[in-house]
Amino acid sequence: MMKLSTEQFTALQQELDSIKQQVQAQLGEADARYIRRVLLLQRLSAISGRILLVLGFITPWLWLAGVLLLALAKILDNMEIGHNVLHGQYDWMNDPVLHSKRFEWDIACDAASWQRTHNFEHHTYTNIIGLDRDFGYGLLRLSNDFRWRLRNLWQGGTYLLLSMLFQWGVSYHELAAQRVFFGKKKADRHTQVSDSELKRAFFGKGARQLIKDYLFFPLIAGPMWLWVLGGNLLANLLRNVWTSTVIFCGHFTKEVYAFRPEDCENESRGQWYYRQMLGSSNFTGPTWLHILTGHLSCQIEHHLFPDIPARHYPAMARQVQAIAAKYGIPYNSGSFVRQYSTVFWRIMRYSLPGGNRATAPGQLQQIGPV
């Protein structure tokens, strides 16, 4: 990997800024039509799926189709719509639904809580040890920068459980970070909202989700209540596992880099871009796969341009990859299967003592991979 000079960091910033400005200049009706079509597909999938769950008494195949359609609706709501809308990618439309300040998604996590922990903390301090709490979520040891604990021996099982309950892990993330229920609060703890507000949002949103999926819809299904209850449970499970898998493939592959806080002090915009490129992973696939991932298959581009409508990421990726090659910056991309296999390797490797550190002494441009 090439060691970049101050002048090269400046040039890198200018080239990536230029890509962003070119796309921003093109935003318009085509983007509005696209996200509204996705929203329509999501709503039709949800309605069709819930109808087919009730019709499962005719044949179990209808019930299975209902589960898959409902899972598709939940995945689209969570990924291509919710995640991207809450990043403000479509705020310029001034749509009453598709605006980051008004949108609420179909998962247990309160949208405002997610924006605080994800939009600000994770995207500002990406992969900085001790500052980005998304690096392992406080549950998984993913490098030797963290002290090995006995509980890490079974972190493979912890990961599987987290994947199945991912919406609840995301919902609890801010409360865990602020030590609302457990642990001694840090002296330098800062929060934008009070503990009571965090708890009210956590329990309020969670209760609404539980009532909707496991009480309201089963009750109105009458004698098919158990089929609907089971279908909702399975659809949520599929959505949780898929979302978790996509996110882990974008952040925790074997080749991603991590950083020390002291190496990122007073970093320039060019250095911030550089850190995003080193701390993210892409995976390749057809158009439908990009859509189902919310285009987080292009996680590198998302970390570089989080407020650009994600449908542009695949085209931007070709330009970003060329720039990475020009400056000798690793561009971590591969097939979905390959990337996930390295995620699993990383989780299992660091369940045992030892292993490599994700960070190394020196300046930002000298930091090495796991």
User: 310 CB contacts (<8 Å, ≥6 apart)?
Assistant: 80, 84, 89, 294, 295, 296, 298, 302
At which residue do the structure tokens 């910056």 appear?
Answer: 329
Per-residue pLDDT, 188: 56
For residue 369, pLDDT over 50 is answered with: no
Per-residue pLDDT, 255: 85
- Residue 116 banded pLDDT, cuts 50, 70, 90: confident
Per-residue pLDDT, 367: 37
- Residue 221 banded pLDDT, cuts 50, 70, 90: very high
Mean pLDDT of the chain: 90
- Each residue of 92-102: pLDDT tens digit? 999 999 999 99
For residue 350, pLDDT over 80 is answered with: yes
Dihedral over alpha carbons 197, 202, 208, 214 (to 10 degrees): -160
- Each residue of 19-74: pLDDT tens digit? 999 999 999 999 999 999 999 999 999 999 999 999 999 999 999 999 999 999 99
- Residue 327 banded pLDDT, cuts 50, 70, 90: very high
For residue 247, pLDDT over 90 is answered with: yes
- Helix (H) or strand (E) segment spanning residue 334: strand 333-335
- Residue 302 banded pLDDT, cuts 50, 70, 90: very high
Q: What is the mean pLDDT of residues 277-301?
A: 96
Encoded tokens for 79? 């990924």
Per-residue pLDDT, 361: 43
User: 363 CB contacts (<8 Å, ≥6 apart)?
Assistant: 263
- Each residue of 142-187: pLDDT tens digit? 888 888 999 999 999 999 999 999 999 888 877 766 666 666 666 5
What sign for the dihedral angle of Cα 111, 112, 113, 119?
A: positive
CA angle at 14 for the pair 116 and 255, rounded to the nearest 5°? 60
